[in-house]
A and B are shown apart, each in its own frame.
Chain A
């Protein structure tokens, strides 16, 4: 029987649901993340907060560094390539990465085209600010979506904005008459079939995680209550005072996101959270990359 890679790749994202995917820069951090309960790790040379601080062009990580992390843990390992940089994606596929994040956190390599992800056997996750972006990425072959948020800031406001917008557009499409869907497809610049799927199922055709600015158990619970199926935590863990404890607390917060009493216990004594920068204080809005 034929192997449908897109189905298998969507399926892997289903297995990650209810979990936390953590950014790590070394095998040691990867082990800490796994021990704290991460369902996958994102291997990168610099976490988004440092990419932001360093400035300049930010690229795919050294494959040797990624392999070091693959050898250190048994959970899935993801890595980022630049938007539109299909050669970086080919390299990541060659080292058998479990998921590629075509990410706005790195400098875009193409200001018009995203990668044709249908040409790859390994899965892709892409960021989206709204439903149109999400469905365009899915049409290009992404098998998982995350909010863009504003990476490396510790400010959750953009992730909230993107998740709310996406959920409200999904609700709106769910309430349309079927003959109104053609016009919606035109407006969103996506195929009718994808709009029809959203209309019928009241959800995206792939798993949808929250990402960008999540720094506390409360942030994670907020995103889950807003409809995220899991959470990426980037700079929030290893830029904080006590990474092990904070990571474990965020994992538990994602499982019991509706239990405020437990969330209160989890939020105690976590040490210093990452300092963070407010959205208004930054010059570079990464979420505006790739539409």
Chain B
């Protein structure tokens, strides 16, 4: 199994460290030719969605990645990654890959003073640490989407078939369970160890 990490901007190294701890092979995608290498899953990290969304287009990555996700490539988006995958963004007319039936609210908790850390139940895993940094949440999801976690009533983790999103950053905490959950998703889809 090999996982690609979108390394245009943001906290991609933290995801790479998690994958390494799980003994999963990985490589970075920074431009079009990086897509020539085979991969079984994709992580879109936290960072600024406006920056990553723009670079996806300008570096020729947008169409090929969108198509692969629509064709069933397992993908995991954290924070900005969630925004990039959302079909609708409530407080922004720009949408990006728009492959997942969710409505996201950008900077839903306000500015940096609204950032926080908590613990909450994640469906199928249990109680896990969750760090929210200028985070979004999901306001609405379609019937196709399985809600995996809520904090204060807001949806903060969800899955739609091959797509997993969290508004929080498991890559910033010691817990490996969400990355393990994604690796298991890839295993189900690709059959690769």
Shortest beta-carbon distance, B53 to chain A, in Å?
Answer: 9
Shortest beta-carbon distance, B5 to chain A, in Å?
Answer: 12
Greatest chain A CB density within 10 A among B13, B31, B48, B112 is at B112
Question: Judging by beta carbons under 8 Å apart, are A1 and B119 in contact?
Answer: yes
- A13-47: which have CB < 8 Å to B? 14-19, 34-35, 37-40
Question: Judging by beta carbons under 8 Å apart, are A38 and B58 in contact?
Answer: no
Task: Provide the residues of chain B in CB contact with A259, threshold 8 Å.
Answer: 30-31
Task: Provide the residues of chain B in CB contact with A184, threshold 8 Å.
Answer: none
Shortest beta-carbon distance, B65 to chain A, in Å?
Answer: 15
Asked if A4 lies at the interface with its beta carbon under 8 angstroms from chain B, I say: yes
Question: Judging by beta carbons under 8 Å apart, are B133 and A8 in contact?
Answer: yes
Question: Judging by beta carbons under 8 Å apart, are B8 and A7 in contact?
Answer: no
Task: Provide the residues of chain A in CB contact with B172, threshold 8 Å.
Answer: 11, 14
In angstroms, Cα B51 to Cα A17, docked, is 11
Task: Provide the residues of chain B in CB contact with A3, threshold 8 Å.
Answer: 116-117
Task: Provide the residues of chain A in CB contact with B51, threshold 8 Å.
Answer: 19, 37-39, 75, 251
Task: Provide the residues of chain B in CB contact with A9, threshold 8 Å.
Answer: 112
Question: Judging by beta carbons under 8 Å apart, are A74 and B55 in contact?
Answer: no
- B1-54: which have CB < 8 Å to A? 7-14, 30-31, 46-48, 50-51, 54
Asked if B160 lies at the interface with its beta carbon under 8 angstroms from chain A, I say: no
Shortest beta-carbon distance, A218 to chain B, in Å?
Answer: 18
Asked if A61 lies at the interface with its beta carbon under 8 angstroms from chain B, I say: no
Given A8-B133, A14-B172, A37-B50, residue A255 in contact with residue B117 (CB < 8 A): no
- A73-125: which have CB < 8 Å to B? 74-76, 93, 96-99, 121-123
In angstroms, Cα B11 to Cα A12, docked, is 10
- Interface residue total, chain A, C-beta cutoff 8 A: 40
Task: Provide the residues of chain B in CB contact with A14, threshold 8 Å.
Answer: 11, 14, 46, 172
Question: Judging by beta carbons under 8 Å apart, are A12 and B112 in contact?
Answer: yes
Asked if A167 lies at the interface with its beta carbon under 8 angstroms from chain B, I say: no
Task: Provide the residues of chain B in CB contact with A99, threshold 8 Å.
Answer: 112
Given A14-B14, A37-B50, A256-B31, residue A8 in contact with residue B116 (CB < 8 A): yes
Question: Judging by beta carbons under 8 Å apart, are B47 and A262 in contact?
Answer: no
Beyond the given A1-B117, A15-B80, A39-B48, please list 4 additional residue pairs across the A-B interface where CB-CB is below 8 A.
Answer: A12-B133, A17-B11, A74-B107, A96-B112
In angstroms, Cα B48 to Cα A102, docked, is 23
Asked if B64 lies at the interface with its beta carbon under 8 angstroms from chain A, I say: no
Shortest beta-carbon distance, A233 to chain B, in Å?
Answer: 14
Asked if B110 lies at the interface with its beta carbon under 8 angstroms from chain A, I say: yes
Of the A-B pairs whose beta carbons lie under 8 Å apart in the complex, a sample of 21, sorted by A's number, is A8-B117, A8-B131, A11-B133, A12-B133, A14-B46, A15-B10, A15-B80, A16-B48, A17-B11, A17-B47, A18-B10, A18-B47, A19-B48, A37-B50, A37-B55, A38-B51, A76-B48, A98-B134, A122-B112, A255-B30, A255-B55
Task: Provide the residues of chain B in CB contact with A98, threshold 8 Å.
Answer: 111-112, 134
In angstroms, Cα B49 to Cα A75, docked, is 9
Q: Map CB proximity to A onto B113-146 as digits: 1 under 8 Å, 0 otherwise.
A: 1011111000000000001011000000000000
Asked if A199 lies at the interface with its beta carbon under 8 angstroms from chain B, I say: no
In angstroms, Cα B52 to Cα A254, docked, is 12
Question: Judging by beta carbons under 8 Å apart, are B7 and A74 in contact?
Answer: no
Asked if B169 lies at the interface with its beta carbon under 8 angstroms from chain A, I say: yes
